[in-house]
């Protein structure tokens, strides 16, 4: 579904991502793992059009995305839950979710929000609460739910388990399973390699902006280099 061909992203003179090529199939969960500064977030931001890529090609279902604004990309089925959550702290849970829906159909917005509340009952309890007053885990759920409000075909999760208790990490893993069953494609960028590889079908390992390893998640979990570099085993 998504094809990324020799994508290069740079901030000024410093390259953050160097000729990265990879694919994501329909209904596939792909993990990106790598150390801090390896280029995972830059890659996701480039996919969303939040940073311009310097070279390379992005295509969704064979259509080149060059020149597409972030909004247009969202309309075509991309959605990102950003690293560090970035919920709107002074808006309520409901208002945060409403902002995630770009259409004009109020009934549809309501329907999607209800679906999110069903998925994350914790958010339903707090729909009138200001997002900034919620715990880190709840804010993370909200960020993911807000991304889901756009009705994406490709959901990108940047560090979805950042600062989450083990029990919530399991819930996020469960959530990814559920959306996969609905036919969504998912890209997870994660420090928690164990969780990401557990949830993913395939994975890419990034190092200093290069994709250095690729394979099925199960293979990578067994890979001695991965074990040493990310799992600390």
Partner 1 sequence: MTRVSSWPAGIWLSAGVAVAFLAAFLIDSPYVAGLLAYALVLGMFALGLGVTLGQMGYVTFGHAAFFGLGAYAAALVSTKFGLNFWLMAFLAPLPGAALGILVGFASARLGGAYFAIATLTTAEILRLIAANWIDLTRGPMGVLVTAPPLPWQTAFGWGQQQSYLFLLILVVTLLLVGLRNLQRSPLGRAWVAVREAPDLAESLGIPTVRARVSNIAISGGIAALAGALLVPKIFVVTPDLLGVSYSATGLLATIMGGKASLLGPLLGGFAFAVLPESLRFVDAARLAIFAVILLLVVRLMPGGIVSLLPGFRRNAPAPAFGQHKLPALLRPDLPAPGTDVLAVRGLQKSFSGLKATDDVSFTVRAGELVGLIGPNGAGKTTCFNLLSGFTRPDAGDVLCLGRSIVGLAPHQVASHGMVRSFQQAAICPTLTVYENALIATHRAAPEPFLSALLRLPACRRREDERRLRAEACLGAMDLLARADELASALPYGDQKLLAIAMALAAQPKILLLDEPAAGLNQVEATALAKVLGDLRRAGLTIVVVDHNLKMMMALCDRIVVLHHGAKIAEGTPETVRNDAAVVQAYFGVASPEAVAS
Closest CB to partner 1 among residues 188, 193: 193
26 or 212: CB nearest partner 1? 212
Q: d(Cα 54, Cα 14) in Å, to the nearest integer?
A: 12
Are 58 and 91 in contact by the 8 Å Cβ rule? The answer is no
- Give whole-number Cα distances, 52 to 16, 48, 81, 159, in Å: 12, 9, 19, 21
Q: Is 120 in the site for partner 1 (CB under 8 A)?
A: no
Residue 65: CB atoms within 10 A of its CB come to 19
Shortest CB 38 distance to partner 1, Å: 8
121 near partner 1, judged by CB under 8 A:
no
Q: Are 61 and 25 in contact (CB under 8 A)?
A: no
Q: What DSSP character marks residue 210? A: E
Stretch that binds partner 1, among 1-9, 23-31, 144-152, 224-232 (CB under 8 A): 224-232
Q: How far is the CB of 207 from partner 1 (least distance, A)?
A: 12
By C-beta, is 25 or 84 nearer to partner 1? 84
Please list the alpha-helical segments (H only) found in the chain.
40-48, 70-75, 93-100, 106-119, 121-125, 136-148, 166-181, 193-199, 217-222, 224-226
Binding flag, residue 21, partner 1 (CB under 8 A)? no
Decide whether 41 or 185 has the Cβ nearer to partner 1.
Answer: 41
Collapse the DSSP code of 87 into the 3-class scheme (helix H, G, I; strand E, B; otherwise coil) and give the result. coil
Site for partner 1 in 125-184 (CB under 8 A): 133-138, 140, 159, 162-170
Residues lying near partner 1 in the complex (CB under 8 A) are found at 11, 13, 33-37, 41, 83-84, 133-138, 140, 159, 162-170, 191-194, 228-232
């Amino acid at each position: 579904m998504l094809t990324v061909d020799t994508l290069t992203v740079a901030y000024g003179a410093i390259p953050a991502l160097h000729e990265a090529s990879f694919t994501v199939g329909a209904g596939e969960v792909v993990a990106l793992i790598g150390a801090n500064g390896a280029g995972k977030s830059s890659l996701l931001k480039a996919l969303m059009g939040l940073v311009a890529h310097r070279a390379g090609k992005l295509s969704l279902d064979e259509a080149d995305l060059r020149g597409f604004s972030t909004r247009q990309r969202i309309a075509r089925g991309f959605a990102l839950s950003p690293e560090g959550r970035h919920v709107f702290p002074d808006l309520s849970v409901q208002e945060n979710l409403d902002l995630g829906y770009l259409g004009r159909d109020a009934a549809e917005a309501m329907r999607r929000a209800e679906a999110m509340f069903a998925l994350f009952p914790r958010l339903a309890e707090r729909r009138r609460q200001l997002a900034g007053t919620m715990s880190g885990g709840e804010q993370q759920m909200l960020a993911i739910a807000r991304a889901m409000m756009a009705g994406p075909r490709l959901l990108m999760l940047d560090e979805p388990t950042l600062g989450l208790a083990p029990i919530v990490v399991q819930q996020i893993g469960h959530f990814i399973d559920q959306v996969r069953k609905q036919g969504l494609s998912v890209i997870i960028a994660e420090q928690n390699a164990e969780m990401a590889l557990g949830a993913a079908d395939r994975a890419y390992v990034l190092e200093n902006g290069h994709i250095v390893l690729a394979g099925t998640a199960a293979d990578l979990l067994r890979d001695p280099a991965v074990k040493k570099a990310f799992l600390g085993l």
